[in-house]
Each structure stands twice: as structure tokens, then as C-alpha cells.
Amino acid sequence: MTEAVTRAFVLADHTAAAATDEAIDVIEGLLARTLSGGEPTVRDQRLAGLIADVWLANLAAFSSGRISGEVARDRIDRAIDRFVDATHGDPEVG
């Protein structure tokens, strides 16, 4: 299933753009609400977009066998730490 989801995101053409955009919006919304612990701020929403991009890139690398799950998890964790540290207190992330 992971491979099918990854292919759908990465290889979607214009006919699937609306569905892909909707799925990305849902993922970003979930991440933003998790970051905020409630109603997301602009910062939370923009930070969630960055995290979703990193997640998708690592999901694609993992699904294709280029990296292990452990490496993907480490990359995602390091990126999140850097994003959060770099944007702490900045409402205009992006």
C-alpha cells in the first residue's frame, strides 16, 4: 500500500491533481493541528507544509528501496527539529 500511495503522489498527472491536492491538504491539516495542539496558526500551517514535503520525499525514497525505514525516520526527525528551531517565534514561516 505504501508504494501505491507514493506512486499516486509522486506520479500524479493533471487528471489526478485535484485528488492529490486534497490529500496533501488533509495531511498538512493533520500536521498543523498536531503542531498547534488546537487551532493552527499561519506558522503551524506553513511548518506543516514543509514537514509534509520532507515526509513525502522520504516516503518515496523508502518505497523505492533507496533508504531504510530507520534512515527515513532519522531524516524526518532531523528536518522537523531544524524547522521548529529555525522558526521558533516566527509567525511568518515560509
Locate the domains of the chain by residue range. Answer: 1-88
Residue with cell 531524516: 75
| Architecture per CATH, 1-88 | Orthogonal Bundle (1.10)
Residue 15 has what pLDDT?
A: 75
pLDDT in tens, 59-84: 889 988 999 999 999 999 999 999 98
Cβ atoms 61, 67 nearer than 8 A: yes
Spell out, as residue ranges, where the chain has pLDDT lower than 70.
Answer: 1-12, 89-94
Cβ atoms 20, 40 nearer than 8 A: no
What is the distance in angstroms between the CA of the first residue and the CA of the last residue of the chain?
Answer: 31
Residue 77 has what pLDDT?
A: 96
Number of neighbours of residue 70 by Cβ within 10 angstroms? 9
Residue 81 has what pLDDT?
A: 92
- pTM confidence score: 0.76
